[in-house]
Each structure stands twice: as C-alpha cells, then as structure tokens.
C-alpha cells in the first residue's frame, strides 16, 4: 500500500479485511433493506479486538496505536458504514473517553465489557435544538442530594437503541460551554426512554435513536470528569472521532473505486468495455486520487496522535476532505454504473446514501472549515 507499514499494521489490516469480506460485505445490502445490521456483529467486533483498539490491555482493551485503529476503521468502512459506526461510537467516542477521563470505578466496570462487545456505548451530545452549536445544549442535570436528575432530549444518537450505557452531556451550570458536565447513564435507568429514528437516507442498518430523559436519577459517581468540564471532554473526544470517521470515509471511497473499476471492465458499450472510454477513466482517476489523498490526511492525524503532538486542526482537515471525497467518489461511481447504479442490485447507490451523512455528523463540513479558519487566523467566525 502507500506507506511501508509494519508487519503488525499489515496483520491488523488483513484481519479486518478478511472479517469484512466474510462477515460484512455479503450481508450489507440485506441489512440496509431491513434497516438493521445483525446484532451479533457487536460481539464479533469485540472478539476480534476491534472494539478495544488503542485502549491499554490492562484496562481491558486490545492496545495498538492510532494507525492500527485507522487501518481497521478503513476496512470496516469499506464493508459497511453502519458496522464501522458501531466501532467509531462505542470505542471512539465512549470507551476512549472513559479511559481518558473516567474514574477507576467507571473504567473497571465499563471498559472490559465495551472492549469485549458484551456492552455497547452511545454518545449523547446532539439535541433536537442544538447540533453545531453544541455549547448551548439544553438537557439539564439538577442536583438532588448526592444525586443528579437529568431532564431533556438527545437526537440522532448512533447505537442509541442498542447501547447499554450513554455518555450524556447535560447542563449543570450557567449558559455556554463552561456549564456542561458529562455523565455515564445506564440505559435501563427509569425515566430514560429511547425511540428508533426511522426513514434515514443512508446508514439504514445503524441503530439511531432519540433519547428522552424525564428526571433520570444518577449518583454523583456517574459524573465523568469535573463539573463544568463536559464541553471540553466532548470536544477533545470529537477531535479523535473525526479521524475515525475520516478513516471510514477512506474505506467507503475505496469501495466505490473497487466497484467502479470492476464494473468498467465488465460493461461493454460502443463495442468495448467502458473502461476503455476516456471519460470513464477520468471518473476512476478522480476517485483514486481523492481516496489516496484522504488516506494520507488520515494517517497524518494518526501519526500526530501516536507521537503525542497536537492534531485537532489536522483532524478537521482529514474529516472535511475525506467526507467530501467519499460523497464525490460515490457520486462518480454511480455515474460509471449508469442506470444499474440507481437500483440496489449493485452497492453504489447504498454507498452514496451512506456517504451523504458524513459531511453532516461529527461536525459538519462548515464547522470543520470554521475550525481550520480559526486555527489559521486566530479569529472565531462562528
Ligand atoms: N479540545 C479541548 N477543549 C476544547 C476544544 C477541543 N478540541 N475545543 C474547544 N475547547 C474548549 C476551549 O478551550 C474553551 O475552553 P475555555 O472555556 O477554558 O476557554 C471551551 O472549550 C469553549 O470553546 P469554544 O469557545 O471554541 O466553543 P464554541 O461554543 O465557541 O464553539 C464549536 C465550539 C462550534 C467549534 C463546537 O461547538 C463544535 O465543534 N461544534 C460541532 C459539534 C459537533 O461536532 N457535533 C456533532 C456531534 S457528534 S454526531
């Protein structure tokens, strides 16, 4: 591939590729049609160590560096974005936050299960009224003796109906980012109800939910980090999450390239395979360049993290470019397929539907551009 990867990196990627070829790709279209991936996939992801990557083994994880994580996420994204999303959220947004900010008790009670795939996590930040403007979230946590009572609503929560634990961001203080605190809430706590969000354009296999909190009581031991630190925890988590999503987008774009090249070799028009038509080759070349460039941007972020360097702006660049590259790749692949791309006999229509959300979630393309712009100029334009 593009860089001289170590044998360990190659082995992790090969393991993920083999798993995807055997257990994901053959089922992806059916999961999409029935709007649910097979839930047993969660345990399989845990058994293979994919839900514990980068979490130290002594905390129940499978170790490995962030490049390994990105290689695996790329392969999962190549197979099915809904499956990739399970890992991005339960590991990338929840387990990693517990590892970084959780108490000893939170780490020992959740990390072994989350990493093994016997429990699943969801990240409850977005609300019906606050998406990009996350610092103004309205879900409240009020003190009641030694406990907290949570009231409010969270929307578009990946893994929401499947999760055993939700990392919830709620307002414990005044307005703005400094009034937000993070809590780990078990999803069977009384007062917490979950509703599946149906009718999505893509990611149909993924469990996406609205969570409603009506006086949900949690003890102070459920608080993650200090009071008022929740927004910083969420933003730090999302920086790495953006890399994970970008890695998935690389896999999606690669899947588009693979499908389009294969089809261009098989489909004949004007007396020759369409691969022999210059304008078709142009589409293939553009997908290939987009995919390779996105991959290198992702690997740069992984390398920065593994060397302990700042990486937030680079993560925004990778997320912005890779998500838009995935949408372009899927659109071009569909163009190569012509009418056959428009029916679900072939996978490219699903790729386009799955790709489309990636410029929206984990920070829209517009938010990424504002973050990059602020880093360049020192001026916040939001
Ligand atoms: N890591 C750690 N701390 C961070 C941080 C990061 N990446 N980004 C911001 N912070 C801190 C800041 O340092 C600041 O701390 P102080 O109060 O000590 O100064 C605080 O958080 C507030 O930061 P900021 O002023 O930048 O917050 P804003 O509300 O102005 O804007 C944006 C933040 C718009 C960038 C943020 O809300 C954002 O990223 N929104 C998109 C949300 C998103 O991705 N949603 C998808 C959810 S998951 S599907």
- Domains along the sequence of the chain with CATH: 7-120 (1.10.540.10), 123-227 (2.40.110.10), 232-377 (1.20.140.10)
| CA angle (351 as vertex; 78, 304 as ends), nearest 5 | 45
Between CA 332 and CA 276 the distance in angstroms is 16
Split at pLDDT 50, 70, 90, the class of 2 is low
pLDDT at 275 over 70: yes
Between CA 335 and CA 329 the distance in angstroms is 10
Q: Using the mean position of ligand 1's atoms as its centre, give its distance from the Cα of residue 237 in Å.
A: 10
Mean pLDDT, rounded, for 363-373: 98
Q: How far is CA 250 from CA 79, 324, 347, in A?
A: 11, 10, 16
Output the pLDDT for position 3. Answer: 74
Q: Which residues contact 327 (CB under 8 A, 6 or more apart)?
A: 352, 355, 356, 358, 359
Between CA 38 and CA 35 the distance in angstroms is 10
CB contact at 8 A, 118 and 153 = no
Output the pLDDT for position 354. Answer: 98
Q: Using the mean position of ligand 1's atoms as its centre, give its distance from the Cα of residue 43 in Å.
A: 33
Atom number, ligand 1, closest to the C-alpha of residue 93: 48
DSSP 314-345: HHHHHHHHHHHHHHHHHHHHHHHHGGGGGSTT
Q: Where are the alpha helices (DSSP H) in the chain?
A: 7-19, 25-34, 41-47, 66-79, 81-87, 96-101, 104-116, 230-266, 278-306, 312-337, 348-356, 365-377
Tens-place pLDDT, residues 237-271 = 999 999 999 999 999 999 999 999 999 999 999 99
Split at pLDDT 50, 70, 90, the class of 32 is very high
DSSP 13-66: HHHHHHHIIIIIHHHHHHHHHHT---TTHHHHHHHTTTTSBTS-GGGT--B--H
Closest protein CA for atom 4 of ligand 1:
232
Mean pLDDT, rounded, for 202-212: 97
Tens-place pLDDT, residues 146-179 = 999 999 999 999 999 999 999 999 999 999 999 9
Q: Using the mean position of ligand 1's atoms as its centre, give its distance from the Cα of residue 255 in Å.
A: 33
What one-character DSSP code corresponds to residue 270? T
Q: What's the token pair of residue 272? A: 């020759």
Between CA 143 and CA 219 the distance in angstroms is 10
pTM given for the model:
0.97
Closest protein CA for atom 49 of ligand 1:
362
Q: Which residues are catalytic?
A: 362
Average pLDDT value for the chain: 97
Tens-place pLDDT, residues 321-355 = 999 999 999 999 999 999 999 999 999 999 999 99
Atom number, ligand 1, closest to the C-alpha of residue 131: 45
Mean pLDDT, rounded, for 284-294: 98
Q: How far is CA 321 from CA 92, 206, 236, 248, 317, in A?
A: 20, 23, 20, 12, 6
CB contact at 8 A, 325 and 293 = yes
pLDDT at 86 over 80: yes
Between CA 62 and CA 114 the distance in angstroms is 11
* Alpha-carbon torsion (359, 202, 130, 183), positive or negative: negative
Output the pLDDT for position 4. Answer: 81
Atom number, ligand 1, closest to the C-alpha of residue 363: 44
- pLDDT over 70, % of the chain: 99
CB contact at 8 A, 172 and 181 = yes
Residues having CB within 6 Å of any atom of ligand 1: 125-126, 132, 134-135, 177-178, 231-232, 235-236, 238-239, 312, 361-363, 367, 371, 380, 382
Output the pLDDT for position 1. Answer: 54
């Amino acid at each position: 591939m593009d860089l001289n990867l170590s044998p360990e990196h190659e082995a992790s990627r090969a393991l993920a590729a083999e798993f995807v070829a055997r257990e994901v790709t053959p089922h992806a279209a059916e999961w999409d049609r029935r709007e649910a991936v097979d839930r047993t996939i969660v345990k399989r992801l845990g058994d293979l160590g994919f839900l514990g990557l980068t979490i130290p083994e002594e905390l129940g994880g499978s170790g490995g560096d962030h490049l390994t994580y990105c290689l695996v996420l790329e392969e999962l994204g190549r197979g099915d974005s809904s499956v990739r999303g399970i890992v991005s959220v339960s590991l990338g947004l929840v387990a990693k936050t517990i590892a970084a900010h959780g108490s000893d008790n939170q780490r020992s009670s959740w990390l072994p299960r989350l990493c093994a795939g016997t429990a699943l996590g969801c990240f409850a930040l977005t609300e019906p009224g606050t998406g990009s403007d996350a610092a103004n979230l309205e879900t409240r946590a009020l003190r009641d003796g030694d406990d907290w009572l949570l009231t409010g609503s969270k929307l578009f929560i990946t893994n929401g109906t499947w999760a055993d634990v939700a990392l919830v961001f709620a307002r414990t203080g005044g307005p703005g980012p400094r009034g937000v605190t993070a809590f780990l809430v078990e999803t069977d706590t009384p007062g917490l109800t979950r509703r599946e969000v149906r009718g999505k354009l893509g990611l149909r296999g993924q469990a996406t939910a609205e969570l409603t909190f009506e006086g949900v009581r949690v003890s102070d031991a459920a608080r993650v980090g200090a009071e008022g630190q929740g927004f910083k925890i969420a933003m730090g988590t999302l920086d790495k999450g953006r890399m994970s999503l970008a890695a998935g987008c690389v896999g999606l774009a690669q899947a588009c390239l693979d499908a389009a090249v294969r089809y261009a070799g098989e489909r004949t028009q004007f007396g020759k395979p369409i691969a022999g038509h210059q304008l078709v080759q142009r589409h293939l070349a553009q997908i290939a360049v987009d995919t390779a460039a996105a991959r290198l941007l992702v690997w740069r972020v992984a390398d920065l993290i593994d060397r302990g360097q700042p990486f937030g702006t680079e993560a925004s660049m990778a997320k912005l470019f890779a998500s838009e590259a995935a949408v372009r790749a899927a659109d071009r692949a569909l163009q190569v397929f012509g009418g056959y791309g428009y029916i679900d006999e072939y996978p490219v229509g699903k790729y386009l539907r799955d790709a489309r959300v990636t410029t929206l979630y984990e920070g829209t393309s517009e938010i990424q551009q504002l973050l990059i712009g602020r880093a360049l100029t020192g001026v916040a334009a939001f």
